[in-house]
Amino acid sequence: MNSDAPPISPAILRGYAPQPGIADELFDAQGRMRPVWSAFIAQLAALTPDEVEIRFARGEQYLRDAGVYFRFYSGGPAQDREWPLSHVPVLIPEQEWAAICDGLTQRAELLEMVMADLYGPGQLVRDGHLPAELVAGNPQWLRPLVGVQPRSGHWLHHLAFEIGRSPDGSFLVLGDRAQAPSGSGFALENRMATMRIFSEPFPRAHVHRLAGFFRAFREAMEGLAGDRGKAILTPGPNNDTYYEHTYIARYLGMTLLEGEDLIVRDGQVMVRTVSGVEPLGLLWRRIDSEFADPLELNEGSQIGTPGLIEALRQGNLSLINALGSGVIEARAFMAFLPRICERLTGEALRLPNIATWWCGQPAERAHVAAHADRMMIGEALDPALPFAIGANTALGGQFLGGADGLQGGLGDWIERNGNRLVGQEAVTLSTTPAWSEGRLVPRPMTIRVFAARTASGWTFMPGGYARIGKSGDTTALAMQAGGSVADVWVMSQQPVQPDTLVVKGGFERAAPGILPTRAAENLYWLGRYSDRTEGVIRVLRAWHLRLAETDDREDARLTALADFLARQDIDVDQPIPEALLGMIASARFSAAKVRDRFSPDGWAALNDLAKTADRLAQRVRPGDDAAHAMSVLLRKISGFSGLVHENMYHFAGWRFLLLGRAQERADGTLMMLSEFTAPEAPPGMLEIAIEVGDSVLTHQRRYRFGPSRGTVLDLLALDARNPRAVLYQIAQMRHHVGRLPHAGTDGRASPLEQLLLTLDTDLRVADPDALPPERLCDMHDRLARAYDLIQSTLLR
């Protein structure tokens, strides 16, 4: 990187014209390329447009494979969209980055002091440095936490700051994120994808690595947890950043928990696990404060833990961040932080925040009204960023959403709602190169910077999460929904040492992870639903094969199969029945709740199954076509089962999955045999039973004659070596149950073990010629009690 290099103007920069009066990341005010970019641009320019596209596709493929998606809400139900990666990173020289971090360190310390005061003595309000109504009227100021000292000694441990570059080239803070900052995991995924795109010879050796930040943060969390456990608390799969929670949990090797996993006992927060309750020392919460404890905060919360605040009050749990930290995200605080900083630290803010005026004060209100054309005017207590334009926001003197507040004009609106409003200087952001149709174009950007508190002070992720606007418009509008995200490269003068989370010099085994009861239950149901899906597909295939053969829906075998399926709510008139799609959805739902315990491949296999089934449902015709479709689906679901079998670590969760699967298979087989081997069953049903039981070849090899009731029952019910047989599956259940905690008590078999033992014995001593349907039904009913016993014994 030589700053004396002649200006280069390759084809990819044709037409790249920063707008006058606006800062650009790539070119300085004199139109010279900033030195930090030159090596990168030179490499990019050396590629043909096709090569560039191939590389970008590589990054996108990585994100798809990793299962990174973006949850999109537009009034209706949430939809998952492809991750909107803007492939070109934002490059920032390390000296400039250091200055940003220096300013943000001061700001982080300031925010900590403000928190300590708002939840302590309240002197800022009493002395008039902060208007009382911005605190007392702030829904995020949580009264039950007033006077509660955080166990860790600090209210704030993890912060994010949204920053943007103003026209004069300096950076400006646009918003503070203290509630439960999201995005650090997405920043990591952006980095992974971007590094796949820009492999050598791009100047990646000079890019600061992100792993060190996470290592420092993890060590800080370990210090806070002490000798007790640490975990991430998520609101669950319905949250728009749930993917990130699972990703971070896997990356840091932390347990991901939901509120219902926790109970509070004697002021101590405990995780309900399959091996009893385990105490926790630290929770990194991704759940918003108000939902954390329905007993003392939002009563309607279904995702909280009653008694959590009592545990905090008793000083038994460290939280990242303290409950109630959302209070300092309110836009209106920006109007007062500059003065509070001077008051509390004796210094001015090193990195200014966006100019903000609270309209609750007469002079400020008049100023905002007089300059409304240059302002964003919105809710004072809203934590949204200045470019998040809601229905009750005016920008440049215009209402962009519903204009209901506007009777009597903007001035009247400001006058009437003064204390509810703030004016913020309308942002003009810098532009950064983004790829569009074979060349680079300038697009506005903001950067989210992440900070973590460590034993030696605040540390910053050297990199971040950039949002890129969808058009060249550098006002707030372009940053609305529809933009994309990009990696941020902090560029070093020297090559940077490679770094990962792996500790150098040998290894240390982590303590075996805990298995929360809820996760165990979801894995059990995942096993059941996936096997139920497989069973139904096999029966449906048999029906369609017979239909193709006879073309007669009134054939006795077809009606018998249709009746059998109808009892499971499957309608054979739908080639891919809705109820089947529902089962796949249920399997996926259970899997979604334990994604942190699952390989991305397993998740991808389930998604692939769901997508294929949906697609086939559009066009499949009954008969041969549907039978073929069922074979396709069978292969897909076998792919999922194979991954579970071959790749999943044999920890307790795996046993729950297999326990569910074995129970479902034993259950389905008993149900089928009781009908297909009944004396009144039409001829040909025995052959179908063998086919559905995937045992055609085995039957040929094991018995000298065609199928009889005896041979079918011998092979599919009583054979301890046939994995499709009931006895085999009962034995599997016994095997797994015996290796799970809590299975037996004081050397005696638990009721669950007793049940399985009697079923096992009955099957082992049964005579295949003396096994009437009633006895199979009786076994089926007994087996159905297993779930209650699993719940009361293993999942209590």
Partner 1 sequence: MRYDILLTIDYSYQAASDHVRNILRLVPQDGPSQRVTAALLTIDPPPDERRDGRDFFGNATSSIAWHEPVQQITFCLTASAERFAAPVDDLSPPLTDLPGLVTAACDPGPASPQHYLAPSPRIAPVPAITEFTRKALPAGASARAAIEAVGQALHKTMTYDPEATDVATPPAEAFAARRGVCQDYTQIMVAGLRAVGIPAGYVSGFLRTYPPPGQPRLEGVDAMHAWVMAWAGPVQGWVEYDPTNAQWAGEDYITVAMGRDYADAAPVKGAIRTAGGQDSTQAVDVIPLD
Instruction: Pick between residue 48 and residue 302 the one whose CB is nearest to partner 1.
Output: 302
Instruction: Name the minimum Å distance from CB 268 to partner 1.
Output: 11
Instruction: Pick between residue 518 and residue 661 the one whose CB is nearest to partner 1.
Output: 518
Question: Is residue 294 a contact partner of residue 346, using CB atoms and an 8 Å limit?
Answer: no
Return all residues near 59 (Cβ < 8 A) that are at least 6 apart.
85, 87, 193, 194, 196, 197
Distance CA 789, CA 712 (A): 30
Distance CA 306, CA 293 (A): 5
Instruction: Pick between residue 139 and residue 153 the one whose CB is nearest to partner 1.
Output: 139
Alpha helices in 401-555 (DSSP H): 409-417, 517-550
Instruction: Name the minimum Å distance from CB 422 to partner 1.
Output: 16
Structure tokens, 510? 């982590």
Burial (Cβ within 10 Å: 0-12, 13-18, ≥19) of residue 503: exposed
Closest to 558 measured CA to CA, from 547, 571, 569 = 547
Instruction: Pick between residue 128 and residue 512 the one whose CB is nearest to partner 1.
Output: 128
Instruction: Pick between residue 129 and residue 782 the one whose CB is nearest to partner 1.
Output: 129
DSSP 516: B
Closest to 262 measured CA to CA, from 321, 296, 303 = 303
Structure tokens, 139? 């829904």
Instruction: Pick between residue 193 and residue 262 the one whose CB is nearest to partner 1.
Output: 262
Return all residues near 573 (Cβ < 8 A) that are at least 6 apart.
none
Instruction: Name the minimum Å distance from CB 133 to partner 1.
Output: 6
Instruction: Pick between residue 118 and residue 490 the one whose CB is nearest to partner 1.
Output: 118
Instruction: Pick between residue 308 and residue 466 the one whose CB is nearest to partner 1.
Output: 308
Supply φ then ψ for residue 703, to 5 degrees: -125, 145
Instruction: Name the minimum Å distance from CB 691 to partner 1.
Output: 42
Instruction: Name the minimum Å distance from CB 357 to partner 1.
Output: 17
Instruction: Pick between residue 122 and residue 682 the one whose CB is nearest to partner 1.
Output: 122
Instruction: Pick between residue 76 and residue 300 the one whose CB is nearest to partner 1.
Output: 300
Instruction: Name the minimum Å distance from CB 517 to partner 1.
Output: 12
Question: Is residue 687 a contact partner of residue 711, using CB atoms and an 8 Å limit?
Answer: no
Return all residues near 140 (Cβ < 8 A) that are at least 6 apart.
179, 289, 290, 324, 326, 327, 329, 330, 381, 383
Instruction: Name the minimum Å distance from CB 612 to partner 1.
Output: 39
Instruction: Name the minimum Å distance from CB 519 to partner 1.
Output: 18
Closest to 430 measured CA to CA, from 447, 405, 406 = 447
Beta bridge pairs of residue 448: 162, 465
Instruction: Name the minimum Å distance from CB 547 to partner 1.
Output: 44
Distance CA 776, CA 725 (A): 13
State the residues that interact with partner 1 by CB under 8 A.
122, 125-126, 128, 131-133, 135-139, 143-144, 146-147, 263-267, 294-296, 298-299, 306-307, 310, 313-314, 360
Residues 294, 298, 302: CA angle, nearest 5 degrees = 55
Instruction: Name the minimum Å distance from CB 178 to partner 1.
Output: 19
Distance CA 276, CA 794 (A): 10
